[in-house]
């Protein structure tokens, strides 16, 4: 893991992003305190598809509830 100051990250943002795209994890510090971590995206499309499938299955299994006692016009008042 690499650490850079906020001002250096600002001045050299394109090189910071280039390093991150190559797998580097960078912590940004301001006045000696860590304020952000910039890391490459680790999740694959498979994880996202799996989460979406699980959510849709759960929603399909739920019984619609609640009473619709409002009109569309009332929503935009």
- State pLDDT tens for residues 30-59: 999 999 999 998 767 888 899 999 999 999
How far apart, in whole angstroms, are the C-alpha atoms of residue 35 and residue 9?
A: 12
In the sheet that 26-30 helps form, which strands lie side by side, from edge to edge?
2-5, 26-30, 33-38
Q: For residue 9, tell me if it sits in a domain.
A: yes
Q: For residue 67, tell me if it sits in a domain.
A: no
Q: What is the pLDDT of residue 67?
A: 81
Q: For residue 68, tell me if it sits in a domain.
A: no
Q: For residue 8, tell me if it sits in a domain.
A: yes
Q: What is the pLDDT of residue 12?
A: 97
Q: Output phi, psi for 21, to 5 deg.
A: -65, -20
How far apart, in whole angstroms, are the C-alpha atoms of residue 50 and residue 52?
A: 5
Q: What is the pLDDT of residue 42?
A: 73
Total count of domains within the chain:
1
pTM of the model: 0.55
């Amino acid at each position: 893991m690499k650490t850079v100051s906020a001002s250096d990250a600002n001045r050299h943002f394109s090189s910071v992003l280039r390093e991150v795209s190559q797998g580097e994890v960078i912590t940004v510090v301001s006045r000696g305190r860590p304020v952000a971590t910039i890391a490459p995206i680790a999740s694959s499309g498979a994880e996202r598809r799996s989460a979406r499938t699980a959510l849709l299955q759960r929603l399909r299994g739920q019984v619609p509830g609640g009473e619709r006692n409002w009109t569309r016009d009332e929503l935009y008042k």
